[in-house]
Structure 1
Amino acid sequence: MNSEHYQEHIDVLNHRAQQILTREGLQGLVIHSGQPHRQFLDDMNYPFKVNPHFKAWVPLLNLPNSWLIINGTDKPTLVFYRPSDFWHKVSDVPTDDWTASVNIKILTKVDKIAELLPANIQQWAYVGEHLDVAEVLGFKHRNPDGVMNYLHFHRVEKTAYELDCLRAANRLAVLGHHAAKEAFFAGASEYGVQQAYLQATGQLENDMPYGNIIALNENAAILHYTDLTYEAPSAHRSLLIDAGAQVRGYAADITRTYAFEHNDFYHLIQDMDTLQCKIIAQMKPGVRYVDLHVQTHQLLAQVLLDHQLASGDVDSLIESGVTRTFFPHGLGHMLGLQVHDVGGFMHDERGTHMAPPPAHPFLRCTRTLAANQVLTVEPGLYIIDSLLADLADTPAKQLINWSRVDAFRPFGGIRIEDNVIIHSDRTENMTRESGLID
């Protein structure tokens, strides 16, 4: 990573911290990386997931019991937990280029952290998950709304360093997607496709930013399908793979759908791919993401008509709820330190909420696009029996070509998802520019 971009990133975060600390009358922020969570009635912990506010400042993903002390002016202080432990590997103190931008202190015992925190702790804000720990340490301000809303609103605007990380995550995920595609056409099971993906990315399952969705045939109709089968099906018809990667804590989130043969489902995928590219071409600063979602339904209605899945016209398919039956989720979401990154519903830095339209309750972003935002764009078309059954109890039943729906049911569904950066003068499709075209 570009070390100059990292220092610029720290400068931006420090400036944001200074602004909100002044506004809220606070001395500084103390960001807790988190603590391990013990499994119930066991002596093992769940996989550790670091506080996203912590990894925004330092690229350390597996470092529980550590802290950042930030006053918005000086170098951040990293309190690095390094115990004496013969049971587990102890993390080495980092020496990478980025460490020149922080001060590092060593913490050897969890219960000694108070000795390294500021003396006037009641004038500092705790940012983290473990509010009980914060209370014991004497923090009066624990995840204060004013601070959290401000940080979440501005986290939507990515720095050059963050864009570097997101591009790298996309390049890594694309390697996995190519390997997964090859495994599918070689006849692998869902488990086999998953293993090919992990092998190509060089990341373990717990390193993934979310649980990979590897869905063959009918399973592609289940939006968050993660219950992988170990046996290959008797016939390979389709693969929907929604899988990412992470670099320095920043996520890629990419989906592709493949048909095993060049059949009607293959041509439906091609038209959904074209639809997605048309939507991305409309993205620029000043465009409302809600409007893009509505436009997606208009384009999807035409796809349904072109493939004889429905009859009527575009307006009737939208107004009757037909398009929502085939495409029930939102167009996409903010992307960054978290897969479904924060700030997608925020109108301003004070946290004013912009709800999605009542007709589209699952839309995850209502922001107006601006430069340096990063979003996913993921239109879909699925044969979901429960939703179709609901539609069959309405007058819109007459608009559905049920025999055509039956023909597509064994293929499950389609989703095409890319990760894009909004620039002032263009839109950068990180996924396709990393080499994943179809």
Structure 2
Amino acid sequence: MSHDLAPLYAQHIATLRQRADKALALGNFDHLLIAASTPLRKYLDDQDYPFVANPHFLHWLPLTNAPGSWMVYTPGNKPKLIFVQPHDYWHVVPDAPSGYWVDQFDITVVHTFAEAVDALPKGHRAVIAPECPSIHGVEANNPPAVVNYLHWHRSYKTPYELALMRQASRVGTRAHRAAEKAFRAGESEFGIQMAYLAAAAQTAAELPYANIVGLNEHGAVLHYTNFDRTPPKQSRSFLIDAGGSASGYASDITRTYAATGHHEFQALIDSVDRAQQSFAAKVKAGQSYPDLHIHAHHVLADVLREHGVIRMSAESAVQSGVTSTFFPHGLGHPIGLQVHDVAGFQANEHGGSIPRPEGHPYLRMTRVLEPGMIVTIEPGLYFIDMLLEELRAKPAAKDIDWAKVEAFRPYGGIRIEDDVVCTDSEPENLTRNAFAVN
């Protein structure tokens, strides 16, 4: 795998250097300094939270555990890595840099965070780093002109990035298979989570986000992360939203399952799955993502009507806000080095923002799709008590079959999510392709 990545990585670095040249010119900067960052300290303690590397650093380097290190780029020169390898007997010391990527960098090894800062070049510097924790002696300025340009172009994944995203998808789908098996075997949410981690061969901290593992009614909690230790007396349904990581790149995958014999809910899952695949097929150049989100509301309204939940036209269900009761979040988001990747609302490479459609406050992307972008497509239908109570008080309540709603409430909800690449032709569904080989 690393042999295959070497030429892709060389092309990737060449692309990043071209982008950095243009970004630095916008602010007349001499150097681009990107901090890997340092761990956050727990309050009133001498322990740190799990380290999370700066995604800008990971864009250049496949080093997810190099706290205190720096990437330095000066136009016209080879990129430089200042790598911190501490003298430490309390913790595992990072291995010296090696692998398919090292030929693309001049590498300096130091032993403390302070030595790394001292090794940084002087001059007019664009310093990209988190503001917390601050880095004494080289505080972040995160110049907007530079950051906006880099964020905009990070939307367009290089072939190297696509290779890592495919790898992350294979990690996630392999673990999803294990989670479904654990559900079918009657495991608790905690037991399913343990099966997932074992199959992914990643710790919870290494995964791109906290897994959502919900049985029965818990599927109605959009970000459910409680992990009950005891299996329910009866398992009716299972919703899992969980991904995998590859050198800092993320997959984001959701599936919903019905227990054996729960045919009506399975039929609803099947309808949402068909709708989801139809939306994924529209991830093509020139497609407005907000328009696709609104289209999804109309299609899901037809699903609700098909299954007897509503008695109104799709148009009426969308205009009256009824579909937002059952589908209260956005269709998806950009994904890459971050699960909710940057520049989803950005107007152009200089910044600006494209507003969300009125009445859809949780949509996480408003751009037009272009080749190289990767987005999630994650429609859902849920039976959320709070939102259902609000709907009962509206005039549209008369067009709801509340008995049917009550029949579906014990199942919580449905979400199905794939990661999809916009190409010059047909979309590439990373998730479905990975499931096909796992």
- TM-score normalised according to structure 2 size: 0.97
Q: Deviations over 1:366-406 (max 9, x none)?
A: 01010010010000000001011111111011111111000
Q: Deviations over 1:24-47 (max 9, x none)?
A: 111111101111111111111111
Equivalent position of 1:378 in the other structure: 378
- Aligned residue type for 1:144: P
CA-atom RMSD in angstroms: 1.4
**Structure 1 segment 17-36 matched on structure 2, within 5 A:** 17-36=20-39
Q: Deviations over 1:147-179 (max 9, x none)?
A: 111111110000000000000000111100000
Equivalent position of 1:4 in the other structure: 7
Structure 2 residue matching 1:162: 3-state secondary structure: helix
**Structure 1 segment 92-107 matched on structure 2, within 5 A:** 92-107=95-110
- Aligned residue type for 1:268: L
Tell me, in whole angstroms, the C-alpha distance in 1 between the residues paired with 2:240 and 2:189: 10
1:88 to 87, 91, 112: 91
**Structure 1 segment 258-407 matched on structure 2, within 5 A:** 258-262=257-261, 263-407=263-407
Equivalent position of 1:174 in the other structure: 173
Q: Deviations over 1:269-310 (max 9, x none)?
A: 000000001111222100100111011001001001000001
- Aligned residue type for 1:238: S
Q: Deviations over 1:222-254 (max 9, x none)?
A: 000001100000001000000000001000000
Conservation of the 8 A alpha-carbon contact between 1:33 and 1:67: yes
Q: Deviations over 1:315-348 (max 9, x none)?
A: 1111111100000000000000000000100110
Conservation of the 8 A alpha-carbon contact between 1:371 and 1:423: yes
Indicate yes or no: 2:55 matched with 1:52: yes
Tell me, in whole angstroms, the C-alpha distance in 1 between the residues paired with 2:265 and 2:437: 18
Equivalent position of 1:429 in the other structure: 429
Cα offset for 1:312?
A: 1.5
Equivalent position of 2:211 in the other structure: 212
Equivalent position of 2:77 in the other structure: 74
- Aligned residue type for 1:391: L
Conservation of the 8 A alpha-carbon contact between 2:188 and 2:230: yes
- TM-score normalised according to structure 1 size: 0.97
Cα offset for 1:314?
A: 1.1
Cα offset for 1:72?
A: 3.5
Tell me, in whole angstroms, the C-alpha distance in 2 between the residues paired with 1:429 and 1:227: 30
Structure 1 residue matching 2:82: 3-state secondary structure: strand
Unaligned runs of 5+ in 2: none
Q: Quick check: 325-334 or 354-363, which moved more?
A: 354-363
Equivalent position of 1:187 in the other structure: 186
Conservation of the 8 A alpha-carbon contact between 2:283 and 2:420: no
Unaligned runs of 5+ in 1: none
Q: Quick check: 79-88 or 65-74, which moved more?
A: 65-74
- Aligned residue type for 1:322: V
Cα offset for 1:436?
A: 5.4
Equivalent position of 1:248 in the other structure: 247
Conservation of the 8 A alpha-carbon contact between 1:16 and 1:72: no
Cα offset for 1:107?
A: 1.6
Identity in percent: 44
* 1:258–1:108 distance in 2 versus 1, CA, 3 Å: same
Cα offset for 1:264?
A: 0.3
* 1:132–1:201 distance in 2 versus 1, CA, 3 Å: closer
Indicate yes or no: 2:414 matched with 1:414: yes
Equivalent position of 1:39 in the other structure: 42
Conservation of the 8 A alpha-carbon contact between 1:34 and 1:130: no
Tell me, in whole angstroms, the C-alpha distance in 2 between the residues paired with 1:171 and 1:131: 33
* 1:38–1:287 distance in 2 versus 1, CA, 3 Å: same
Tell me, in whole angstroms, the C-alpha distance in 1 between the residues paired with 2:422 and 2:137: 42
Q: Deviations over 1:103-147 (max 9, x none)?
A: 110121222234311132xx011100147745x4256x7101111
Conservation of the 8 A alpha-carbon contact between 1:420 and 1:430: yes
Q: Quick check: 84-93 or 403-412, which moved more?
A: 84-93
- Aligned residue type for 1:223: L
Q: Deviations over 1:80-105 (max 9, x none)?
A: 00111111111111211211111110
Indicate yes or no: 2:126 matched with 1:125: yes
- Matched residue pairs, number? 434
Q: Deviations over 1:338-359 (max 9, x none)?
A: 0000010011011110011121
- Aligned residue type for 1:349: E
Conservation of the 8 A alpha-carbon contact between 2:84 and 2:116: no
Cα offset for 1:437?
A: 10
Tell me, in whole angstroms, the C-alpha distance in 2 between the residues paired with 1:437 and 1:347: 38
* 1:374–1:152 distance in 2 versus 1, CA, 3 Å: same
Conservation of the 8 A alpha-carbon contact between 1:131 and 1:142: no
- Aligned residue type for 2:12: H
Conservation of the 8 A alpha-carbon contact between 1:215 and 1:225: yes
Tell me, in whole angstroms, the C-alpha distance in 2 between the residues paired with 1:219 and 1:298: 26
Indicate yes or no: 2:68 matched with 1:65: yes
* 1:29–1:384 distance in 2 versus 1, CA, 3 Å: same
Equivalent position of 1:234 in the other structure: 233
Structure 2 residue matching 1:188: 3-state secondary structure: coil
Tell me, in whole angstroms, the C-alpha distance in 1 between the residues paired with 2:163 and 2:100: 15
Tell me, in whole angstroms, the C-alpha distance in 2 between the residues paired with 1:282 and 1:374: 13
Q: Deviations over 1:32-68 (max 9, x none)?
A: 1111111111111111101000011001111111111
Structure 2 residue matching 1:56: 3-state secondary structure: helix
